[in-house]
Structure 1
């Protein structure tokens, strides 16, 4: 057990470095403890860790010389082995954090003479922060995860299984069933950080899903973590959360009055400061407009309409007409109507900014992105947009409220919000038909039309190359069968690719085919995958949550 060392102030005040710099922190040293029957086990554990530290240090010293003459494949294999070792070390970190918390709590409870509480730390997390020199957030993360995936004991000393058994199995190193000895390459399958993503997801859903659903999710998310990166795991977990708890917790009008809005702050360093707290649909409009400036696929577009008309030929309504203000034309004697608008000034400022974004999107005057004008595009299943029972007053109104769509930038959006947006004349819903009669133009056109581009955006939602995360507005429309080789300009022969992967495909090492679902699949070259198994990008369309096991 560790404790704060002697009080440095007892030696004549606060201790300072020799050069008169900042005060030194109190040192931590081991508290002397009585001989016990566990000393042998503790000594063995210390020897094990010391030997491991020597081996890691030796590997770190020799690695630069080994890597200096290694090939690309050898370097990649070295990095993969190092990551396997890191997952094993992360498991040791969890064991250590859990053991510190257990022994520290026991010592404080038993009121030992040299109590750990004497070290001045408020709790175990603070002790780990000081002793291990890690952020307090990381210390808390390890303690929370250790409680979820490590076995424990009850008050009588009987062993208890971990609360998350499926995740515990994935994060624990495996051993040979015959010898009980760990085998090379059989370390933890899931990193502790991926395990934290999984436990956080289960905690969010514990009040919104049945025990069977939670068990199925706990069983499937570690499997996904073994095959994907944490970014995709986070997206997959968020997608399952949105499906299971589609509506979430809607903020009340009073809550919005206290938090929502565009707030003008004091200028800093000669720059004006505006702080915005927006709903998902407001934020999507802002991101869509800002994307026209940050999008690498942006192209300049000149406005061809006169000043008095917008691009659709409608008169400019930005200037007030005489009839728009009746109080100035004989209406002053009338009693003014009560002000029913309860929005705060900050809310009105935000609504004005979003209205400007909507107007800019409708005028077709913004720079084009990837072949079409910037516009808010949402994808949603027909059954969710038009539920079978739309009457919220019925007993089965819950089915009408469930469901969600997807924005190009923001991500999931409740179906109720999309139904409200669909009423706006400036927002055009794009529906994918089963045959695509209107969208398929044959070989008369080489470039994809805006309508076809919208259909590809609704279907692909981003670059379709495996594991790519570039959103649709930053992508280019690509002919699966080249136009020069007789390929038609149709949605079935098109797919979205980012600039990097578009160039990669034209090197003709990767091949594109169409899966049974009608979506693109990519066949890697033999030196990447000798089996050349077709791969698809599930980043934008993660699979649905698992069903409970029967």
Structure 2
């Protein structure tokens, strides 16, 4: 208990310090919190956001303890004497939800984590540690949120009876470390992949169920609009989304390049599009992404029934990744992944796809094509981009979950300025937004032990703490970043290109 309240006090003190440090030296007397926030610098406001998030995790750690005890005192065998029913609620989640003004789902997450991280008693009354010690320690220390802990807990409990105990414990530790770095969306992808590795026997039945549930309904409304609604298994879904996304990406690139990447509009704010003299309305892209996807599907259908041309990039393909042993062994129950799809597929399905047209099997651990081109070629090859996708998992920037299909390979040390080589060690996958962000703000990128690290400029983070890049596919322990005192020639010049 002392540890939890100490965490609360320290988190609150850190928030107060961040708040005071973010305010200007001269503040209008009597200013309220809203006025104070508006007066904060950008860097100060971000520090306040981080401090508030840390305080919320500290509060969540104590809520988890309380929720677990509420659930224990409301367990079904107590019947009408249970705490929740005595208070007039049908379940402990209902009691917690009513108290917090939250959803039953949020309250259930508190109970899930509370029960999973609580200490236990043996039949002899001996105190036993939590069944999820890594999660318990991380939640109690305020390192991860309740939502992240609940996501990991549910998956671990789901596969516990079929998974190897040692691998289960290692996965819990690795996911707990990753949860402190990833958004919930990114963690969800990692959890799904981990579930496939822990419960390989369950992937095939789950895959068969998804395939059996495939459907596509076509309904014409009274207005004349045609409504499509479909459900597809991961493999078929990847092919459909890959083709549509390729067309959309081509259209977005066309719109971006119409006036050059540095073009800016000089018209006054509020100028109608058709009155703007900075751009040709016939060229500027005005469709929403949803409209562009609809148009892309229409183009694909027209191409199939007789259109002679299509704007799909000839290099578009579905990439399936699997271990070489799983590819070679017909009895293997391993798993594979498809770029852009979070749900793993079985090794058996991946072996069937290995010779399919338009599908590239990326075998990990086997022979590969040459991937280092030095200065002989400026642009990264298709094989290099696939290899970079294996290392970076998509856009490598911390917190970004854009899949490889929406990313391009860029030189860490610039081709022109630094004479950088077109090699895997000098490449990084970035989406268009983060590519331009890194150019504009001057982030530094380094590759350490086959993982990318991003160091912000001083004006964003005075301490310049390196942030680990994404790789949601491979669950690897966090490598150590070489200290500032070690030999790292040229690190200051490493910028995204």
TM-score normalised by length of structure 1 = 0.60
Q: 1:197 deviation in Å? A: 1.6
Classify 1:154/1:103 alpha carbon distance in 2 versus 1 (closer, same or farther; 3 Å).
farther
SS of equivalent residue, structure 2 residue 94 = helix
The CA deviation at 1:282 is: 0.6
Please tell me whether the aligned partners of residues 174 and 475 of structure 2 are also in contact (alpha carbons under 8 angstroms).
no
Q: How many angstroms apart in 2 are the aligned matches of 1:437 and 1:116? A: 64
1:224 correspondence with 2:178: yes
Partner of 2:242: 288
Structure 2 runs not aligned, ≥5 long: 20-30, 255-296, 479-497
More helix by share: 2
Q: From the superposition, tell whether residues 201 and 296 of structure 1 become closer, same or farther in structure 2 (CA, over 3 Å).
A: farther
Verify: 1:260 aligned to 2:202, yes or no: no
Query: Matches of 2:124 and 2:220 in 1, distance apart?
Result: 60
Contact kept in structure 2, 1:299 and 1:368, CA below 8 Å: no
In structure 2, the residue matched to 1:179 is: none
Further displaced range: 123-132 or 451-460: 451-460
Q: Is the 8 A contact 2:164 2:198 kept in 1?
A: no
Cα distance in 1 for residues equivalent to 2:431 and 2:116: 40
Residues 479 and 152 of structure 1: CA distance in aligned 2, closer, same or farther (over 3 Å): closer
What are the within-5 Å matches in structure 2 for residues 348-497 of structure 1?
A: 365-368=309-312, 373-385=315-327, 387=328, 389-390=329-330, 397=331, 400-410=332-342, 412-429=344-361, 436-437=369-370, 440=373, 442-443=375-376, 445-448=377-380, 450=382, 453-454=385-386, 456-457=388-389, 460-485=392-417, 486-489=419-422, 493-497=426-430
Distance in 1 of aligned mates of 2:318 and 2:393: 12
Q: Is the 8 A contact 1:469 1:539 kept in 2?
A: no
Q: Which entry has the higher C-alpha Rg, 1 or 2?
A: 1
Q: What secondary structure is seen at the aligned counterpart in 1 of 2:204?
A: coil
Structure 2 partner of 1:66: 36
Matches within 5 A, 1:134-283: 134-151=102-119, 161-172=129-140, 188-251=142-205, 259-265=213-219, 267=221, 271-283=225-237
Alignment of 1:99-118 (within 5 A): 99-104=69-74, 117=85
Q: Give the 3 Å change call, closer, same or farther, for CA 441–200 of structure 1 in structure 2.
A: same
Aligned to 1:6: none
* TM superposition score normalised by structure 2: 0.66
Shift of 1:82: 1.5
Question: Residues 212-266 of structure 1: CA distance to partner in whole angstroms, max 9, x if unpaired?
Answer: 3333333443333334433333333323222222352424999678633223357
Distance 2:447 2:357 in 1: 35
- Counterpart of 2:267 in structure 1 is none
Q: Quote how far apart the aligned CAs of 1:196 are.
A: 0.4
TM-superposition CA deviations, 1:317-376 (whole Å, max 9, x none): xxxxxxxxxxxxxxxxxxxxxxxxxxxxxxxxxxxx9xx78x96xx9954356xx64322
| Cα gap change, 1:481 to 1:138, in 2 (>3 Å) | closer
CA RMSD between the two structures: 4.5
Range 254-263 or range 288-297, more displaced: 254-263
1:499 to 424, 432, 437: 432
Structure 1: segments with no counterpart, 5+ residues: 1-44, 174-187, 301-352, 391-396
Distance 1:279 1:413 in 2: 10
Instruction: Quote the offset at 1:284 in angstroms.
Output: 0.6
* 8 A Cα contact 1:292 1:366, kept in partner: no
Q: Compared with structure 1, are the counterparts of its residues 108 and 78 closer, same or farther at alpha carbon in structure 2 (3 Å cutoff)?
A: same
In 2 relative to 1, CA 422–67 (structure 1 residues): closer, same or farther, beyond 3 Å? same
Check 1:212–1:479 CA distance in 2 against 1; reply closer, same or farther (3 A cut).
closer
Between 1:291-300 and 1:372-381, the stretch displaced more is: 291-300
> What's the counterpart of residue 10 of structure 1?
none
- Aligned-residue offset at 1:499: 1.6
Q: Kindly indicate whether the alpha-carbon contact (under 8 Å) linking 2:392 and 2:471 is maintained by their aligned counterparts in 1.
A: no
1:171–1:189: 8 Å Cα contact kept in structure 2? yes
Contact 1:284–1:410 (Cα < 8 Å) also in 2: no
**1:91 Cα deviation from its structure 2 partner:** 2.9
